[in-house]
A = this chain, B = another copy of it.
Amino acid sequence: MTVKKVVIVGGVAGGMSAATRLRRRSESTEIVVFDRGPYVSFANCGLPYHLGGEIADRSKLIVQSPERLRAVFNLDVRPNSEVTAIDRAARQVVVTDRNTGRVYREDYEHLILSPGAAPVVPPLPGIDRPGHFTLRTIPDMDGILAWVRSRDAKTACVVGGGYIGVEAAEQLQHLGLSVTLVEALRQILRPFDPEMVEPVHQELRSHGVELRLGHAVAGFEAAGESEQTLASVVTLKNGTRVPADVVILALGVRPETTLAAESGLEIGPARGIQVDEYLRTSDPHVWAVGDAIEVTHGVTKRPSLLALAGPANRQGRLVADNIIGPKKAYPGTLGTAIVRVFGLTAACTGANEELLRAADIPFAAVHLHPNQHAGYFPGAKPIALKLLYSPESGAVLGAQAVGPDGADKRIDVFATAIRAGMTVDDVADVELCYAPPYGSAKDPVNLAGMAAQNTRAGLVESVHWHELTGFDPTESLVLDVRDAKERDGGAIPGSVHIPLGELRHRLAELPKDKLILAHCASGQRSYNACRLLAQHGFRCRNLSGSYKTWTAGTSFQTTID
């Protein structure tokens, strides 16, 4: 289709992907890109890493200049230009040039909205005090660094434990500040289930970040006169006071829907701009992409807000294709995400337990702790891995991985498997790269699939860490099949100890009238124990993820901060 003119609101991620793809599809189309901010095409996801100096050169964050975009793509890029209204009847946008104050109108044939999301700043007392910053733009980042340097800041309070909050906490700690991270929920990184995120809590604490979990902020107060450098004293609802030389507000984002809503475009149930499967809004000449829209969740099929750079970029490309034609449907978003927290990586895809429960989707879970590469190769370390699947169809519904190394690639495989509609039988059998420095002959992904497969086949029944306290001790027994040396390092209270290698000859010590809840360190040996016991007439369940997952889960439950 010949398209004369496309106007794009927002020149980062989705907007710029749409612009460049449009140019490749149509040399003759006039393409105008407005951005409210001073920079387009900047590396949003890189901002935290300049705070700590890990990305030392600030200019690296500015991927493309308007001049270069003009030269290479013949784009008319206008930074510092805010689109304040859409006149849909006239097919015009109303623009304010923020440098000059001039207000003008620009025609469009198609309009693409890529306004992104705005940091949530709730109306708490004192929230707008100086020294408080969100972290979404290059000016935000510049502001934080200027404040920290000019005040010689020593302490920081990060409010909010999402991806940005956690990355900011890590980087400010790198920079030498003492960081306190406050989160109203009892856990950070909500896309992860609590027992999976607990090692991340511990990693933050072990690097000096103070966590205040389960505590909402009440407000921000001025410091006394003796505390010259302080930005605020952050006060929590339980009365705790956290003095901080700088405050980062990382309370999540909300889709930038003001322009769309004021123009009468439909806003969806998740409060994002509503789009159809081709990413078209309720106006056939207006399309929308990125953090501002709501998408269909790839697993729950519910309208969802998933502010992620990857989907935004692919949506931008897709809208360009759909404007020129032929049209293709957007396949939905899985929410695949990853974050580095000091020496740990936490990655996830699909739905977690919370999302599955909210969507009334039946699920089962397996936990395991396989090494990231062959155990006999130097540097082998376990990954905590959780696979969520449909007990009925075996379909993979979600996966989470936390470990020092190799978590990303396992989640990439699970994300591909979910997109392909694979079952646990399929992932048990995928043929992944194996040499000792990279994996194992049975990769962690295979092992997760096999564990789920065994459960579905009725070979073993699982018990989960949070269920253990629910069993009556007169009717059940916790059996530890680890070696004595491992047990010396800690044990589940009341458990009976028979190492796996002795179990077959000590069956007489176990009661046939009790349910045996078997565990080892990771669940692999206790699975063998369960198979042995079941075939000798015992009732038995395997503690999924075993001592490692139980420790993480109970530590999460009992830590009072």
Contact = CB atoms under 8 A, between A and B. Distances in A.
A336 B338 CA distance: 25
B416 A27 contact: no
Nearest to A67: B501
B337 A433 contact: yes
A137 interface: no
A218 B25 CA distance: 58
Interface residues on A, range: 35 or more
A118 interface: no
Contacts of A27: 531-532, 535-536
Given A429-B314, A429-B331, A441-B309, A45 B338 contact: no
A446 B314 contact: yes
A525 B26 CA distance: 16
Given A309-B441, A438-B408, A431 B376 contact: no
Contacts of A215: none
A501 B68 contact: yes
A377 interface: yes
A431 B297 CA distance: 12
A436 B46 contact: yes
Nearest to A328: B425
A378 interface: yes
A420 interface: yes
B313 A441 contact: yes
Interface string A13-27: 100000000011111
A436 B49 contact: yes
A500 to B, nearest CB: 6
A261 interface: no
Interface in A321-349: 331, 333-340, 345, 347, 349
Nearest to A535: B27
B72 A528 contact: yes
Contact of A340 (B340, B432, B438): B438
B378 A309 contact: no
A46 B438 contact: no
Contacts of A433: 336-338, 347, 349, 408, 411-412, 415
A435 B340 contact: yes
Contact of A378 (B55, B337, B459, B535): B55
Given A24-B531, A72-B528, A435-B339, A420 B426 contact: yes
Given A339-B435, A431-B415, A377 B55 contact: yes
A366 interface: no
A60 B376 CA distance: 5
**Tally of this chain's copies:** 2
A408 B331 CA distance: 26
Contacts of A313: 441-442
B71 A443 contact: no
A394 to B, nearest CB: 13
A438 B222 CA distance: 40
A311 interface: yes
Identify which of A347, A431, A441, A450 gathers the most chain B CB atoms within 10 Å of its CB.
A431
A62 B443 CA distance: 19
A421 B411 CA distance: 19
A213 interface: no
A437 interface: yes
A43 B375 CA distance: 10
A456 to B, nearest CB: 13
Contact of A434 (B338, B445, B525): B338
Interface string A34-63: 000000000101100100001110001101
A255 to B, nearest CB: 18
A3 interface: no
A437 B341 CA distance: 11
Contacts of A422: 416, 420
A378 B378 CA distance: 25
Contacts of A437: 340
B71 A501 contact: yes
A265 interface: no
A554 B201 CA distance: 52
A282 to B, nearest CB: 25
B412 A432 contact: yes
Contacts of A308: 434
25 contacts: A13-B441, A24-B459, A24-B531, A25-B459, A26-B535, A45-B436, A56-B378, A60-B375, A71-B502, A71-B504, A72-B528, A298-B431, A310-B443, A317-B450, A331-B429, A336-B434, A338-B438, A338-B439, A411-B433, A413-B413, A415-B432, A416-B432, A419-B429, A419-B430, A420-B422
